[in-house]
Amino acid sequence: MKGILKIYHPDETLKYHIKSTYCKAVYSNSQHLLEVEVITDESLDHVDDDSLQYNFPQLSFEVVDFPVEDSEIEGKTFSINDSDEETYTEVDLFDDEEAYLYDNELSFEKNGDGILQLCWMGQIDDFYTGSDEPILFKLKCHFKQDDIIVEEE
């Protein structure tokens, strides 16, 4: 597990385990752009049978082409608020439903092992019950490369 996403719905706190992470500040068209992708695991082993999470077992959060000063993101915090003209965040529910992210704050630090980690807080549309009130979420993950083990026969 690479981290955890908690969505603080009024009816219950939903916990998603993160299985995949990607982060890079890329240089394109004479500017640096931040790209982040966090995908949760679709496993429901840790979820109660009557949880709202059963309808949406997997989520993906992304930041796409967000302008940053340079390629160094460690120790920095970025506030991202999408508008009608500019959209930098996306959420995929792996379903026909749609949701949007608001008031995003992304903080990048290195942990005790020297591995870059992200704390992402914000709000998301209530796609669980359709309420008009956005729901607070907190996400914490790391970007350690997976060890790929190849077994020889």
Q: Per residue of the chain (153 residues), give pLDDT as tens.
A: 789 999 999 988 888 899 999 999 888 888 999 999 999 987 777 676 667 776 777 899 999 999 999 889 999 999 999 988 999 999 998 887 889 999 999 999 999 999 999 999 999 998 888 889 999 999 999 998 877 777 777
Report the run of H or E that residue 17 belongs to, with start and end: strand 13-28
C-alpha–C-alpha distance, residues 133 and 21, integer Å: 28
C-alpha–C-alpha distance, residues 108 and 119, integer Å: 7
**Mean pLDDT over each residue of the chain, to the nearest integer:** 89
Q: What is the pTM of this model?
A: 0.87
| pLDDT tens column, 76-97 | 999 999 988 999 999 998 887 8
What pLDDT is attached to residue 54? 66
**Domain edges within the chain:** 3-142
> Strands 101-110 and 77-80, how do they pair?
antiparallel
Class of the CATH domain delimited by 3-142: mainly beta
> Which tokens hold the place of 95?
């379903």
Beta carbons of 8 and 136 less than 8 angstroms apart: yes
